[in-house]
Homo-oligomer: A and B are copies of this chain.
């Protein structure tokens, strides 16, 4: 999609919009890195890496506050309208979801600080599979955001169903295991929360995909069925 940023009379305004877009992508890259590190830490029982994830989260928080401030400044100073305003507002919302994905990564990393027996490690494998799909979703939605590609965003939106199904399958597995080995419950519950975190990450990627569609098409598609998005917004 052609962003047509050069239509502005003010070259400086162009630069400012480009800058916050880049900042969002930088923040997104860091969040993706955090999530990848969190999953690797769990997968390899790498406590040092897990601690690094916990120690890095404040950077994401700081980026959220900085980008938000910059968005407010741009609105006040540049008084953007139409698609420029939509871009700024889409960014304000996107960074909230990115920050929360960072929080979920933190929660997942904490699982690496515990030790698991052989059977329990099988769940970690299932969780890892689901986690890779969540990372892929995040990567794809950031890519859709970078190119403001509405079709790519919609693909991400639809792919959340796959993550939801995987979530249900794993939680069933975990419940069965807890029933068979009740002493394992406290430990398995930690895996439970992490799997839940991954499911929420999928929802948040879906949110971001909706902001991309909002920016490009000018239509708020939250709480809209995929069929309606397909038929009434995208075509």
Contact = CB atoms under 8 A, between A and B. Distances in A.
A107 to B, nearest CB: 12
A8 interface: no
Copies in the complex: 2
Given A85-B75, A183-B179, A69 B220 contact: yes
Interface size classification for chain A: 20 to 34
A147 interface: no
Interface string A31-70: 0000000000000000000000000001001101100110
A72 B92 contact: no
A160 B24 CA distance: 30
Interface stretch (A10-18, A76-84, A108-116, A151-159): A76-84
A89 interface: yes
B85 A220 contact: no
A30 interface: no
Interface in A70-111: 72, 75-76, 79, 81-82, 85-86, 89, 92-93, 96
B189 A185 contact: no
A178 interface: yes
B175 A186 contact: yes
Contact of A81 (B68, B76, B82): B76
Contacts of A89: 72, 75, 92
5 contacts: A61-B222, A68-B220, A75-B75, A92-B93, A175-B189
Interface of A: 58, 61-62, 64-65, 68-69, 72, 75-76, 79, 81-82, 85-86, 89, 92-93, 96, 175, 178-180, 182-183, 185-186, 189, 220, 222-223
